[in-house]
Chain A
Amino acid sequence: MPIVSEKVRMLFEERKIKVRYDLVLESIDLGRRVATFKTPTGAVETGYDFINVIPPMRAPDAVRNSPLPWQDGPWKSDGWIEVNRDNLRHKRFNNVFAIGDVAGVPKGKTAASVKWQVPVVVDHLVASLAGKESASVYGGYTSCPLITRLGRAMLVEFDYKDNLVPSFPGVIAPLAELWVTWVMKTMALKPTYLSMLRGRA
């Protein structure tokens, strides 16, 4: 997401946080506190005081070992389900849809995306049952409350086209570090997701 990446780059620079890209964690020596990274120029060892490792994400085995995932392209190895990005219908199995993290679409691995995906899929399912077509489209909406420090966050929302799609235009600016966004993140999001799971939101 280029515009957010630029903003974060500026924040890092302002706070004198050094950033290094193109490092892929290969191994970690807990005793010596040394992490080894693969880089374009060979292996690099780096000592650390605190390390936060994010594992590679992929579909669960039940999906990966089924005929559902992409058969080629960038998502083949991760096993995400091969769906049409606009209506989330499987490209090869007409009666299969995928929503949530398991859907092989370019954006949208968030609970907020699910909230946008469900009505689209429901529309298509209902239309199919009635023998009709639905024009409902998922535009790739996703949302990420990006915490920039204790007490402040940015409410970043965007779509397939890397456009910012703010929910509260003019009130909550997408690239502003705001307390109100922190308040929303810390107080309202979990209850929102829980009410989503209960089918009430």
Chain B
Amino acid sequence: MNEFDPLTFLAVFEEMMGPLLWILIALAVVATLAFVVLLVREHGIVTRRLFVSEILGLFGGVLALVLMAKVSSSGFTDAGGPADWFLIGLVYGAGLIGTVIVVYAVLGWLAPGRRSTA
């Protein structure tokens, strides 16, 4: 490509996903905020909740890969080089971290007496 302009990337992703892009960005921002607020209120991580989130995160990563395979009409068995493994790692990582943050935040805000645990 000629030059890397973040606005170009935004334009391309908007063209690719339409309103879904903004919904996903909003979800990521809200979940991250909810996660950070929980950390502050509870003075740290709740280990048990994090464990549950991480277990679900493992599946979140798989789900991200399945989605990716579906929308790209292909699969990771098509991987042919390091750049491919990197992309697979990236997609899995994004699915995993995203799921962990969302699940942790949801569980934290739903849990009764969340402020007593620490």
Interface, chain A (partner B; CB < 8 A) = 115-116, 119, 150-152, 167-168, 171-173, 176-180, 182-183, 186-188, 191-192, 194-195, 198, 200-201
Contact = CB atoms under 8 A, between A and B. Distances in A.
A178 B75 CA distance: 12
B87 A179 contact: yes
A89 to B, nearest CB: 20
A201 B77 CA distance: 32
Residue from A116, A172, A198, A201 whose CB has the most chain B CB atoms within 10 Å: A201
B65 to A, nearest CB: 12
Given A151-B75, A200-B8, A183 B87 contact: yes
A115 B16 contact: no
Given A178-B81, A179-B76, 12 more contacts: A115-B1, A116-B2, A171-B83, A177-B80, A179-B79, A179-B84, A180-B84, A191-B15, A192-B12, A195-B15, A200-B7, A200-B8
Contacts, number: 76
B80 A187 contact: no
Nearest to A154: B80
Nearest to B72: A183
A195 B83 contact: no
A200 B78 contact: no
Interface of B: 1-2, 7-8, 11-16, 68, 71-81, 83-84, 86-87
A172 B78 CA distance: 15
A186 B84 contact: no
A14 B80 CA distance: 16
Contacts of A179: 74, 76, 78-80, 84, 87
Nearest to B78: A151
Given A187-B72, A191-B16, A194-B15, A180 B83 contact: yes
24 contacts: A115-B1, A115-B2, A119-B2, A150-B73, A150-B74, A167-B1, A176-B80, A176-B81, A178-B83, A179-B74, A179-B78, A179-B80, A180-B84, A182-B78, A183-B74, A187-B72, A188-B12, A191-B12, A191-B15, A192-B12, A195-B11, A195-B15, A198-B11, A200-B7
A151 B99 CA distance: 27
